[in-house]
Amino acid sequence: MNKDHPPIPISDDWYKMDKWKLDDAISLLLNVDPHQCGLKRESDDKFNATFKLALKVARSAENDSLEVITETKVADLRVDLAIVEPRKFIKWARSKGYEIPDKLTYLLQQEKNTSLNGGALERLRNIEYWKSLEGKAVKAINEYPKWSERLNREPKMSDLDDWLNVKSMSDNIREADVLRKVLTEAYNLKN
């Protein structure tokens, strides 16, 4: 991958698939489009090492803590592919402590039934900004308990604002306000 050019965004088609090859799932977990992964691995030693380690961890968990479907593809040679269901893979990765990219968090939270409100919910879920904000809210809800335990006291709203800014969960004041309100309601915090 040419380091002078920014990476191509990950195609939303990946998030619509019912199954992923394990290698592709690892690439998505590392926030790289699977079609770019080979080039990134060749040009970025740190990424390549991270990819190899994550793949090794996943392969060691096959059909133990990570449910894998083995598909055999026949061309001239028989090749066994490890296939994973995206939501199960994301849950597994979270359980192993991997940081989940916002889009994968969104995929995990997505409901099957999107026909409510004449399709408005489906349209809303296809808006990139909404996906990002929802992913940030889920991340904040998941990480809040660990952070608040480390404070050893009842957090103040100013503590919460500082934490949201330090964790870079919000790009602007309005987002930080929304995330603070979400956490306030989710954990019954005092204003």
**Domain map (residue ranges) of the chain:** 1-99, 111-191
CA 80, 33, 22 angle in degrees (round to 5)? 25
CA gap 67, 58 in Å, rounded: 10
Predicted pLDDT at 109: 66
- For residue 152 the two structure tokens come to 């050893």
pLDDT of residue 12: 79
Q: How many CA atoms, within 13 angstroms, populate the side-chain half-sphere of residue 77? A: 3
- Cβ count within 10 A of residue 23: 16
Residue 180, token pair as written in the block: 């603070």
The whole-angstrom separation of Cα 168 and Cα 116 is 32
Q: What global pTM score does this model have?
A: 0.53
Residues in the chain with pLDDT < 50?
1-5, 111-116
Note the pLDDT of residue 188: 85
Q: Which residue has 């991340």 as its token pair?
A: 139
